[in-house]
Amino acid sequence: MRFELGNALTARSGYETVRIEPWGRDALRVRATVNKKFSGAEKGLDLPPVTQAVCGQTESGAYIQNGKLRCVVHRNGYLTFYEGERVLLKEYSRDFSGANEHSPSMKLAAREYKPHGSDYEIALRFEAQEEKLFGMGQYQQPNFDLKGCILELAQRNSQISIPFVLSSRGYGFLLNHPGVGEAVFGANFTQWRELSSDEIDYWVAAGSPKEIIERYTEVTGRAPEFPENALGLWQSKLRYRTQEEVLSVAREYKRRGVPLDVIVIDFFHWVRQGDWAFDRTYWPDVRAMTDELHEMGVRCMVSVWPTVDKKSVNYGPMRERGLLVRTERGAPQCFDFQGDTVIYDATDPEARAYLWSCVKKNYFDKGVDCFWLDEAEPEYAAYDFDHFRYAAGPVVKTGNLYPREHVKGFYEGLKAAGRTDIVNLTRSAWVGSQKYAALVWSGDICSNFQTLRDQLAAGLNIGIAGIPWWTTDTGGFFGDVTAKGFSELLVRWFEFSVFSPVLRLHGDRGPHDIPNLTDLDFGGGFSPTGRPNEIWSYGGETEAILKRFVGIRRGLKDHLKKAFREASEKGYPVMRTLFFEFPEDGRAWEVGDEYMLGSELLVAPVLYEGQTARSVYLPRGEWEDFFTGKKYVGGDYTVDAPLDTIPVFRRR
């Protein structure tokens, strides 16, 4: 093992080169390759603040220290990370070059490279430890603590892969690779697999949860300031089919005295996918519509899909210029939902510019304020990742970049057009999406209490992964308003959403018994619509509760502004795990059915059908009931939670 020391530590042995360098405060970036040189790509990382590391050499190897974090490269080539004398993370070795106390005859290395075309399939392994793990984006499962989970590193509808994990041992780890793979947080070892890569690349930081998230977002980016005019109610449904429907809903909110911040126009307001323009039959005067909405204080959001129908006006020009996703075999098709479509290539700057030019002309210049980037994974008819290729490279090697580059194009376009209050809704994300004003929602999910419980784990973990702007389809997406218990579910979900980063009412409300506006198989009247989904659509007690909670949301504005400001300035989640605020409290690392909204409010949503009371854990300190002012000290309580109440406590 040969070492080179400076403000970085390079270790060479045989064909492999390992480079370890400071990358932000209390953090190190590690790269390893068996090629002649590193790729030079930053991937998810921005250039870091300049820090000075300390390097040295000993009889047993070499080390590099940056602030709290020290990495030792042993003579056998294996790495161990320390904070002080405490081991944070240690590579797994079961071969003859590793530590002899562990079955060397297994011939299992910590860093493994197997040929994959011109690249490698890579495995990176670490010793198992007593720890709890959080982050990794958003997975549709109830697991709050991810220890013991196997997670696919790939984007799917309602699954968001962001390969950053925070450990209860006091470290954060980012696999800085945008390709498809797998993370296994096993009881015997941790393994990261990359199906296709030219190098190993990861980043490690040491500290408390707040310190780690600060360090992580320093080198991956932070969200801009959240627009104050989007902190209230967002109204959406599947789908408003005409401009008169949109205006009638906004007018009714105004008549009823219910403040509305955003109204959303969903898919198939166009003639063909990829036209990126309104169908004038149903939207004859978009500027007049947006002008009236603005007079009422309502922002207009429009859904933009990345799909391009082969009959679209833009398919020919984009195919000729090579701006579409390539298929590796067979016919050029990516998605077959209500059309024969190919997806535009968001990793190509020219393709992003082409799409934005259409969007600016047909939407933004007509008064549309913000955009809903649906299908942003992108969604494929089948997730055969080895079948598609981007300008950035094969999807198996680069695919997880897509949602970040997609929202980047809209953010930069809006910014160049002079917009400052930018927020775009998107269904997927990757490392750094937050810096492009990405409001991520949890995808097309079912309407039931189990799914509601899954969203709590999803929202807390995606916040740890660096995405502070997050929301759900309140009430779930796939739902039947006539189903037993739907109104109860909607109320409980709405209460949760009021005390979440963004309050957005959306869903495909069945049964689907509303006739289409046309018998044609294209155009703005072709696609079905769901039942009404406004707060008055449900009548009686449900309507009264929803209206009351819209008012409660308005009263939270100052608190929300503070939480969003901390997200912008420090990278903190808006919706936070208890341990984020109380890291010394062991119970706080275990509670996954409560959360902090900002630093002051503890929220304990009702997550089970028929439940009218629930147990609550309050960390050490003084608390008061948000609604009644009743005083509490830290401890375990059972509190009443009738249908019109969500348990919320203010930290004193």
Which of the residues 261, 374, 454, 508 is marked catalytic? Answer: 374
Q: Is the peptide bond before 501 cis (omega within 30 degrees of 0)?
A: no
Which of the residues 377, 495, 566, 594 is marked catalytic? Answer: 377
Whether the pLDDT of residue 131 is over 90: the answer is: yes
Which of the residues 444, 488, 585, 624 is marked catalytic? Answer: 444
Instruction: Give domain status of residue 262, yes or no.
Output: yes
End-to-end CA distance of the chain: 56
Supply the pLDDT for residue 275.
98
Give the residues across from 112 on adjacent strands. Answer: 123
**586: its two tokens:** 């062991």
Residues 209 and 243 in one domain: no
Side chain identity at 339, as an amino acid letter? Answer: G
Domain of residue 252, residue span: 228-305+351-376+401-441+507-538
> ∠ at Cα 470 (468, 474), nearest 5°?
155
Q: Is 415 exposed, middle or buried (0-12, 13-18, 19+ CB in 10 A)?
A: middle
Quickly tell me which residue has 């660096």 as its tokens: 466
Number of Cα atoms under 13 Å in the Cβ half of residue 471: 29
> ∠ at Cα 537 (536, 539), nearest 5°?
65
Is 444 a known active-site residue? yes
Look over the chain and give the mean of its residue pLDDT values, rounded to a whole number.
97
Instruction: Give domain status of residue 315, yes or no.
Output: no
Q: Is 521 exposed, middle or buried (0-12, 13-18, 19+ CB in 10 A)?
A: exposed
Q: Is 248 exposed, middle or buried (0-12, 13-18, 19+ CB in 10 A)?
A: exposed
Supply the pLDDT for residue 116.
92
User: What confidence tier does 94 reach under pLDDT thresholds 50, 70, 90?
Assistant: confident
pLDDT tens-digit series, residues 540-563: 999 999 999 999 999 999 999 999
pLDDT tens-digit series, residues 344-400: 999 999 999 999 999 999 999 999 999 999 999 999 999 999 999 999 999 999 999
Residues 68 and 188 in one domain: yes
Supply the pLDDT for residue 544.
98
Residues 263 and 180 in one domain: no
Is 377 a known active-site residue? yes
Q: What is the mean pLDDT of residues 458-468?
A: 98
Whether the pLDDT of residue 471 is over 70: the answer is: yes
Domain end marker among 204, 220, 236? 220
Domain end marker among 189, 220, 251? 220
Residues 411 and 290 in one domain: yes
Whether the pLDDT of residue 453 is over 80: the answer is: yes
Residues 235 and 210 in one domain: no
Identify the sign of the CA torsion 444, 449, 453, 459: positive
Q: Is 60 exposed, middle or buried (0-12, 13-18, 19+ CB in 10 A)?
A: exposed
Instruction: Give domain status of residue 479, yes or no.
Output: no
Least confident of 45-54, 325-334, 468-477: 45-54
Instruction: Give domain status of residue 46, yes or no.
Output: yes
Q: Which one-letter DSSP state was computed for residue 468?
A: -
- Cβ-proximal residues to 295 (8 Å cutoff; 6+ apart), any chain: none
pLDDT tens-digit series, residues 398-435: 999 999 999 999 999 999 999 999 999 999 999 999 99
Domain end marker among 191, 220, 249? 220
Supply the pLDDT for residue 50.
84
Residues 431 and 357 in one domain: yes
Instruction: Give domain status of residue 326, yes or no.
Output: no
Quickly tell me which residue has 């930290």 as its tokens: 651
Instruction: Give domain status of residue 197, yes or no.
Output: yes
**How far apart are the C-alpha atoms of 145 and 132, rounded to whole Å?**
6
Residues 513 and 608 in one domain: no
Supply the pLDDT for residue 49.
82
Could you list the beta-strand ranges (E) of 75-158: 79-83, 86-90, 111-116, 119-127, 133-138, 150-153
Residues 17 and 124 in one domain: yes
Instruction: Give domain status of residue 48, yes or no.
Output: yes
Q: What is the mean pLDDT of residues 276-303?
A: 98
**How far apart are the C-alpha atoms of 488 and 599, rounded to whole Å?**
29
Residues 47 and 27 in one domain: yes
Whether the pLDDT of residue 100 is over 90: the answer is: no
Whether the pLDDT of residue 181 is over 60: the answer is: yes
Whether the pLDDT of residue 99 is over 70: the answer is: no
> ∠ at Cα 477 (475, 483), nearest 5°?
65
| CATH code for the domain of 16 | 2.60.40.1760
- Cβ-proximal residues to 495 (8 Å cutoff; 6+ apart), any chain: 549, 605, 606, 645, 646
Residues 188 and 288 in one domain: no
Supply the pLDDT for residue 103.
75
Nearest Cα to 30, choosing from 175, 203, 219?
203
User: What confidence tier does 98 reach under pLDDT thresholds 50, 70, 90?
Assistant: low
| CATH code for the domain of 602 | 2.60.40.1180
pLDDT tens-digit series, residues 200-243: 999 999 999 999 999 999 999 999 999 999 999 999 999 999 99
State the angle between helix axes of 486-498 and 540-555 in degrees (0 to 180), rounded to the nearest 10.
10
**How far apart are the C-alpha atoms of 62 and 74, rounded to whole Å?**
7
Beta-strand pair 119-127/111-116: antiparallel
| CATH code for the domain of 241 | 3.20.20.80
Q: Is the peptide bond before 239 cis (omega within 30 degrees of 0)?
A: yes
Instruction: Give domain status of residue 195, yes or no.
Output: yes
Residues 212 and 233 in one domain: no
- Cβ-proximal residues to 150 (8 Å cutoff; 6+ apart), any chain: 182, 183, 184, 185
Supply the pLDDT for residue 101.
63
The total number of structural domains in the chain stands at 3
Give the residues across from 302 on adjacent strands. Answer: 265, 371
- Residue 69: count of CB within 10 angstroms of its CB: 25
Residues 173 and 290 in one domain: no
pLDDT tens-digit series, residues 44-92: 999 888 889 999 999 999 999 999 999 999 999 999 999 999 999 999 9
**How far apart are the C-alpha atoms of 476 and 472, rounded to whole Å?**
8
**Interior/surface letters 306-323, b for 16+ CB within 10 angstroms, e for the rest:** bbbbbbbebbeebeeeeb
Quickly tell me which residue has 């189903």 as its tokens: 483
Is 261 a known active-site residue? no
- Cβ-proximal residues to 430 (8 Å cutoff; 6+ apart), any chain: 44, 155, 161, 162, 178, 400, 401, 402, 403, 404
